[in-house]
Structure 1
Amino acid sequence: MKLKTALMATALTSAAYAAQAQEVTVMSWGGAYTKSQVEAYHKPFTAETGIRVNSVDADNPATPIKAQVEAGNVSIDVADVEFSDAVRLCDEGLLEPIDVSMLPDAPDGTPATEDFIEGALQDCAVASIVWSTVYAYNSSNVDGTPTTIADFFDTEKFPGKRGVRKSAKATLEMALMADGVPAGEVYEVLETDEGIDRAFAVLDTIKDDIVWWEAGAQPPQLLADGEVVMSTAYNGRIFNAAVAEGQPLEIVWDGQILDFDLFVVPKGAPNKDAAMQFIAFSTDTQRLADQASWISYGPARMSSGELVGTFMDGETEMATHMPTAEANMGNALVNNFEFWVDMDAELNERFNSWLAQ
C-alpha cells in the first residue's frame, strides 16, 4: 500500500511538473509591438495557465515558417503574420488549421464568429489587430506641414531623404495614390502592366533620396536621428515614439493602407495544444482591448472597442490614434490580400530588379 501511494504521489508530482514546465514560443515583430503583446497577452496567459511564453522576434515572422516546416524542424508554436502571408502559408499547407469554435464569446454572449471584424477569421489564422502603413515626418526637420500622400513623393516642396520599406507591398500602392489614383481603384490599376510601370515611375522620382528599412523599429529611429525627414512606417511604431518617447513625429493619415495581423500555428509546432490555448486566450475581448492601451492598433473584435481607454500614461485617449478612427479614414486603402497572394512573388521580383538598376 505504501509503495502504491508513493507511486501515485510521484506520478502526480511528475504531472504537475510537466504542466509547470510546459511552454509556448511566440514569434512577433519586435520593439513596441512585441512589448504590447507581452504585457497584454504573454504575462496574463502565464499567470492564468502556468504555461511559459518564450518571446522571439523577426523582421517578418512569416519568413522562417516555410523553411522550418519543410526541414521538419519547427521551433515556433505561434507566429504573428500579415494577412496575405497567412493566406499564402495556409494554401501551401504550412499551417495548422484553427477551429474557431474554440474562441471565446464576447462578454454579452455574441459568438466569436459574429464578433470579429469581417475577414479576421481564416482557416489557419485568427486576427488580433487592424494596423496601417502610414508615413510620418519629424516636425523639427520639415518646413511646412505635409498633408497628403503626394507630399511624401514631392522632394521639391519638402526636400530631404525618405524612409521606405524594402518591399513592393504598400510601396507600390502608395506610389499610385500619390500619382492621383483613387484608393478604390488602386488594385484595378496595379493589375495591369501599365499600372505597375506607372507605380515604378513614381518611385523613380525619389529613388536617389530613399533610405530603405526592413524592421518596424527602424523608421522612428531614422526620423529621430534626422537620417530621413519622412518615412513610411507602421502607425503604432510612430505613436509609441511620439507619445511614449516624446519624439516630434507626426503621422499623415492620407493614403494609409489598412491591414490585419493574425496569429498562426506552423505545421508541426512542438507545442500545438498550448499554441491553440494561447491564441484563444489572447484574442478574447479583454485581451485585445488591453493591447490597444499599449500601442495604437485597433482590436480585431468589435466588442473590444468600447473597452479601449487611455494609453499607459493615463492621459492619452487612444481612440483618435487608431487607424480606423473616422477622421483618419478619409483616403484609406484596405490591403487586398488576394491580390498579394497571387502577385507577391512577381512584383517583388520586379521590385528587386528595379532596386538593382
Structure 2
Amino acid sequence: MMLHATRIIGCALAAGLLSAPALAQSTKTEQLTVVGAGGVLQDAERAVFFRPFADANKVQLTEDSYSGQMAKVRAMVDTGSVSWDVLQVEQNSLLSGCEEGLFEKIDWTGIGDRRDFIDGAYSECGVGAFVWSMVMTYDRSRIADGPKNWADFWNVQRWPGKRGLRQTAKMTLEIALLADGVPREEVYKVLATPAGVERAFASLDRLKPNILWWTSGAEPIERLASSDVVMSAAFNGRVAAANQGGRSFALAWDGQVLGVDYWAIPKGAKNRATAERFIAFASRPEVQARFPSHIAYGVTNRKANLAVDPKLAADLPTSPANFALAVPLDTAFWADHGEALEARFANWRSR
C-alpha cells in the first residue's frame, strides 16, 4: 500500500515537472516585428492593422521602418540573423526577392481565396496590402491655374521653379516618357527598346537642372510646404493626408503610375506563424475597408472595395475615373530590366 502510494506521488511529481515547460510555453507572449515605410502611411497601418491585431491576439508587436531598399533584408537572410517578421514591400522588390530566396512562400490556405483579391494583389511570396499611385501635385494656394499632366510638369517656361522627382529609375522613366508624349498604354512597349530608353533619358536631360530628388515619401510634401519646389511627383496618400492637415495640394491623376505594396515574410523569420496570422488578419475585407479612412490608398480585397465609403472611394487611385488615367506599374518589366536601368540612372544622375 505504501509502495503504491509512493509510485502515485512520484508519477504526479513527474507529470508536474513535464508539464511545467509546456505551461510556460503556452503563457509566453508572442512576439512580432512589422516593418513599414514610416510617416503617415505607417500611422495608418498602425491604426488599422498593427494595434488591432496585437490587441486581439495578445501579441507584443514591435515596429520598424525602412525606405524600401532590399540590402538590409539580403544581409539579414545571408547571415541568418533575421530580426524582421513582416515587411511592406513594393512589387518589383517582392518579385526579385522571391526569385532570390529572400522571402518565405505564402501559405494561401490561411489567407483566403485568391479570387477575392484584385489582379496583381497576390503572389507566391506576398499578399497585396494596399494600392497606391505616384501623382503630380502642386500648391493650389500658390498656383491658380496649375499643370494638368506630366508634359505640363516639364514646362518650366510657364511654371518656373524646381520640381521634385523620386530618386529611382522606376516610375521616373515612365513619367519622362509620358512627358515626352508617349501614350499611357505604350509606355512599357517603348521603354523596353533601346531607343525608348534613350528617349526617356533625353526627356530627363531637358528637366535635369530643375529637379530636386527625393527618397522618402514625406520629402516631396515637406518641400512643397516649404516652397523648395513648385510641384512634385508624390504618393497620392501623402498628398491627401497633407490636405487633411489643412494644405491645399492638387492631385493630378492624369498619368498616375499605379502600384501595389505587399506584406512579405523574410526568409528565416523567427516568428513566421505569427507573421502569417498577421497577414491573414490584414487581408480580411472588414479590416481593409477601414484603411482608406486613414490614408487615401486603395484596398486589394474585392469585398473590402465594396465596403469602402463611396465619398472616400472617389478620391482613391482605384476609382474608375482615376484608374482610367493610370499607368499600372509593370512588375515583370522592372524585375527583368531594373538592375541595368537603375545603374544607368544612378550614373546619369551623378553627371
TM-superposition CA deviations, 1:105-150 (whole Å, max 9, x none): xxxxxxx211101121111111011111111111123252211121
The residue matched to 2:68 in structure 1 has which SS?
A: coil
Preserved CA contact (<8 Å) 1:147 1:252 = yes
Q: Which residue is 1:108 aligned to?
A: none
Q: Which residue is 1:60 aligned to?
A: 68
Q: Distance in 1 between matches of 2:319 and 2:341?
A: 31
Q: Distance in 1 between matches of 2:259 and 2:253?
A: 14
Q: Distance in 2 between matches of 1:320 and 1:231?
A: 22
TM-superposition CA deviations, 1:166-205 (whole Å, max 9, x none): 0000000011011111111111110111111111111111
1:97 is aligned to 2:105: yes
Q: Distance in 2 between matches of 1:166 and 1:336?
A: 18
Preserved CA contact (<8 Å) 1:27 1:61 = no
> How do residues 284-299 of structure 1 correspond to structure 2 at under 5 angstroms?
284-299=284-299
The residue matched to 2:97 in structure 1 has which SS?
A: helix
The residue matched to 1:254 in structure 2 has which SS?
A: strand
Deviation at 1:63, TM superposition (A): 3.8
1:124 is aligned to 2:118: no
> How do residues 26-41 of structure 1 correspond to structure 2 at under 5 angstroms?
26-41=34-49
TM-superposition CA deviations, 1:285-315 (whole Å, max 9, x none): 11111112111111101100122128xxxxx
Which sections of structure 2, spanning at least 5 residues, go unmatched?
1-8
Q: Distance in 1 between matches of 2:256 and 2:188?
A: 14
Q: Distance in 2 between matches of 1:158 and 1:143?
A: 11
Q: Distance in 1 between matches of 2:222 and 2:324?
A: 28
Q: CA RMSD in A?
A: 1.6
Q: Which residue is 1:343 aligned to?
A: 337
Which sections of structure 1, spanning at least 5 residues, go unmatched?
105-111, 311-316
Aligned residues: 341
The residue matched to 1:261 in structure 2 has which SS?
A: strand
> How do residues 162-177 of structure 1 correspond to structure 2 at under 5 angstroms?
162-177=163-178
Deviation at 1:324, TM superposition (A): 1.3
1:14 is aligned to 2:24: yes
2:317 to 290, 315, 323: 323
TM-score, normalised to structure 1, is 0.91
Q: Distance in 2 between matches of 1:260 and 1:326?
A: 17
Q: Distance in 1 between matches of 2:126 and 2:167?
A: 25
Q: Distance in 2 between matches of 1:76 and 1:88?
A: 19
1:337 partner amino acid = T
The residue matched to 1:342 in structure 2 has which SS?
A: helix
Q: Distance in 2 between matches of 1:251 and 1:63?
A: 32
TM-superposition CA deviations, 1:327-355 (whole Å, max 9, x none): 21343101110000011110011101111
Q: Which residue is 1:314 aligned to?
A: none
1:208 partner amino acid = P
The residue matched to 2:333 in structure 1 has which SS?
A: helix
Higher Cα Rg, which structure: 2
Q: Distance in 1 between matches of 2:325 and 2:350?
A: 32
Q: Which residue is 1:193 aligned to?
A: 194
Q: Which residue is 1:109 aligned to?
A: none
Q: Which residue is 2:213 aligned to?
A: 212
| Identity across the alignment (%) | 37
2:84 to 73, 76, 79: 76
Q: Which residue is 2:5 aligned to?
A: none
The residue matched to 2:96 in structure 1 has which SS?
A: helix
2:27 partner amino acid = Y
2:25 partner amino acid = A
2:259 partner amino acid = D
2:58 to 42, 46, 50: 50
Alpha carbons of 1:303 and 1:61: their partners in 2 closer, same or farther (altered >3 Å)?
Answer: farther
Q: Which residue is 2:274 aligned to?
A: 274
1:334 is aligned to 2:328: yes
Q: Distance in 1 between matches of 2:334 and 2:173?
A: 12
Q: Distance in 1 between matches of 2:70 and 2:138?
A: 29
Deviation at 1:61, TM superposition (A): 5.4
1:255 is aligned to 2:255: yes
